[in-house]
């Protein structure tokens, strides 16, 4: 099967000296690009389909450099609290959800996406709020997924009471003047209810994974990440792959708390190579929380606080043990760092590990700092020195920019997600959505990186804006580089896979404020159409 695409703008993400008019795709691979006459001459005389773009734009499909693929489907089934502006609205959404869905006897009711900074009450909906909604076990996730609230029924089910000790790196909210839990759980303390909010059969999970896959495909994304994998999510992804139901490439990074060495050992054939579109990419480590929830670990206190600097998850010796293993065994390490103190901890220990185990140079491990919200210029210089990739959650500028200005002050808040500083140092910046924290919408992300406008309409850190071309590279060729797949994906080049997306408008030629209005018309993986807009 051969297909020629022509009749519209073609953005290759390569350094073309002349415009590309057409491309030829054969057996899932880009065989020829150039002017239409050259491409037609390269095609076989029979069995060639010609696709006229009719003025639309063709470019490489988007690559997700950090999200949580197995949870996108399940979250789509939860009560959607993302638009709620008050406790009353949260209660209304949850009551309607309870009316519409059938629940098993002890099944936990789950909502996802409230943001206390966007609520009229400016606080979390703790158990005194949730107890009034239902006597069923109920849990609501914060939009960051780093915190949430439970009602009394769930606290009782999980055995959380005044005698329950906090997990290191986390917080259990307490009623004023006592040790009685108020329902709020933060960071590592979420593990206290994890087994109760993760129910469901394998068959149900696999169906939810398929549903999540479709969300990515509809947004033009053909390579995704399981960015904090467990034994369960690895096995689920393998099962979906074995059934031939993975239409996109999935790369899994087991969490360091989940004994990733054993997962790698048990799945050696999946390490760094795909089987039915699934592979293991490396390890994932989390060092702190989120700046909007004031749990990111900072070197200077939060605005208005004399001492509070957020929360660290691990001591240096624990971090060094992980970085030693990663460097010694040439394993790619992805590390969550929102606060600059967390970034210091990662860089300090990774450098020590490199000094103790010099790289052979045969293969680059390409370590990644995930999120990079408050990373400083001196830290970016170190990242350049040790070739650490910044994967930036730049949509923070839109979704929480107003909150960052409040929590961090004007200087630090304006510099959130410093993509310009990273690019100016020659770092291969990529951009992500951390889905299901927000929808895997690359065009919204591009808009955020280019415009840096908050939900409140404030332009935040205009000096950190990047160009549309740079933002497009960040979600294509630079994201492919992070995975070591730049020779196969991320640009339109002869010999690469035909992973493509068709957009209704050319991002390079429209008002930058309209970038997020661009529509994905078609998503193509290795020459096969996975999605076409009705």
Q: What is the pLDDT along the chain (534 residues), one digit of tens a residue?
A: 899 999 999 999 998 778 899 999 999 999 999 999 999 999 987 889 999 999 999 999 999 999 999 999 988 889 999 889 999 999 999 999 999 988 888 889 999 999 998 899 999 999 999 999 999 999 999 988 889 999 999 999 999 999 999 998 889 999 999 999 999 999 889 999 988 887 665 678 899 999 999 999 999 999 999 999 999 999 999 999 999 999 999 999 999 999 999 999 999 999 989 999 999 999 999 999 999 989 999 999 999 999 999 999 999 999 999 999 999 999 999 999 999 999 999 999 999 999 998 776 667 899 999 999 999 999 999 999 999 999 999 999 999 999 999 999 999 999 999 999 999 999 999 999 999 999 999 999 999 999 999 999 999 999 999 999 999 999 999 999 999 999 999 999 999 999 999 999 999 999 999 999 999 999 999 999 999 998
Q: What is the DSSP letter of 167?
A: P
β-sheet bridge partners, residue 58: 10, 502
pTM comes to 0.90
Rounded (10°) CA dihedral 108, 207, 148, 433: -170
Beta-carbon contacts of 203 under 8 Å, excluding residues fewer than 6 positions away, are: none
* Residue 124: partners with Cβ closer than 8 Å, 6 or more residues away: 116, 142, 147, 149, 173, 184
Query: What is the rounded CA–CA span in Å between residue 25 and residue 499?
Result: 10
The strand pairing partners of 59, in sequence order, are 501
Show Cβ contacts of residue 351 under 8 Å, excluding neighbours closer than 6 positions. Answer: 382, 386
Distance separating alpha carbons of residues 39 and 22, to the nearest angstrom: 6
Helix (H, G, I), strand (E, B) or coil at 68: strand
Concatenating the DSSP letter of every residue in 396-453 gives HHHHSHHHHHHHHHHHHHHTSS-HHHHHHTT---EE--TTTTS---HHHHHHHHHH-B
């Amino acid at each position: 099967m051969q297909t020629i695409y022509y009749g519209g703008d073609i953005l290759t993400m390569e350094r073309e000296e002349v415009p590309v008019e057409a491309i030829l795709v054969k057996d899932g691979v880009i065989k020829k690009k150039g002017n239409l006459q050259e491409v037609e001459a390269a095609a076989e005389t029979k069995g060639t389909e010609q696709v006229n773009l009719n003025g639309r734009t063709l470019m490489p499909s988007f690559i997700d450099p950090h999200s949580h693929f197995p949870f996108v489907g399940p979250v789509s089934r939860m009560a959607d609290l993302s638009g709620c502006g008050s406790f009353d609205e949260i209660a209304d959404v949850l009551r309607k959800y309870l009316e519409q869905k059938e629940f098993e006897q002890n099944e936990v009711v789950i909502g996802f996406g409230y943001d206390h900074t966007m609520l009229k009450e400016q606080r979390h909906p703790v158990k005194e709020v949730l107890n009034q909604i239902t006597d069923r076990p109920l849990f609501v996730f914060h939009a960051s997924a780093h915190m949430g609230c439970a009602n009394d029924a769930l606290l009782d089910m999980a055995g959380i009471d005044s005698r329950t000790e906090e997990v290191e790196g986390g917080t259990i909210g307490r009623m004023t003047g006592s040790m009685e839990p108020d329902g709020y759980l933060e960071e590592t303390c979420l593990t206290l209810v994890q087994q109760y909010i993760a129910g469901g059969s394998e068959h149900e999970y696999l169906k939810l994974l398929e549903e999540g896959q479709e969300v990515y495909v509809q947004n033009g994304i053909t390579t995704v990440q399981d960015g904090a994998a467990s034994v369960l999510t690895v096995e689920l992804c393998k099962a979906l792959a074995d059934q031939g139901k993975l239409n996109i490439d999935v790369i899994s990074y087991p969490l360091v708390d989940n004994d990733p060495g054993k997962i790698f050992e048990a799945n050696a054939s999946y390490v760094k190579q795909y089987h039915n579109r699934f592979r293991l990419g490396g390890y994932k480590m989390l060092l702190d929380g989120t700046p909007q929830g004031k749990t990111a670990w900072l070197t200077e206190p939060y605005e208005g606080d004399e001492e509070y600097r957020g929360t660290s998850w691990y001591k240096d010796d624990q971090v060094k043990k992980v970085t030693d293993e990663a460097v010694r065994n040439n394993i790619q390490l992805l590390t969550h760092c929102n606060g600059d103190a967390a970034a210091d901890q990662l860089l300090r220990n990774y450098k020590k590990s490199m000094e103790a185990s010099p790289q052979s140079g045969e293969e680059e491990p390409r370590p990644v700092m995930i999120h990079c919200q408050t990373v400083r210029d001196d830290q970016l210089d170190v990242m350049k020195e040790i070739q650490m990739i910044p994967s930036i959650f730049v949509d923070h500028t839109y979704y929480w920019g107003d909150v960052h200005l409040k929590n961090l002050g004007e200087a630090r808040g304006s510099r959130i997600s410093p993509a310009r500083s990273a690019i100016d140092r020659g770092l291969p910046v990529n951009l992500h959505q951390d889905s299901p924290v927000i929808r895997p919408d690359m065009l919204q992300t591009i808009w955020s990186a280019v415009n840096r406008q908050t939900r409140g309409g404030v332009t935040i850190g205009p000096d950190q804006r990047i160009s549309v071309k740079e933002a497009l590279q960040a979600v294509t060729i630079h994201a492919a580089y992070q995975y070591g797949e730049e020779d196969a994906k991320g640009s339109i080049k002869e010999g690469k896979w035909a992973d493509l997306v068709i957009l209704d408008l050319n991002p390079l030629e429209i008002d930058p404020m309209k970038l997020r209005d661009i529509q994905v018309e078609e998503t193509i993986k290795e020459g096969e159409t996975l999605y076409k807009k009705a």
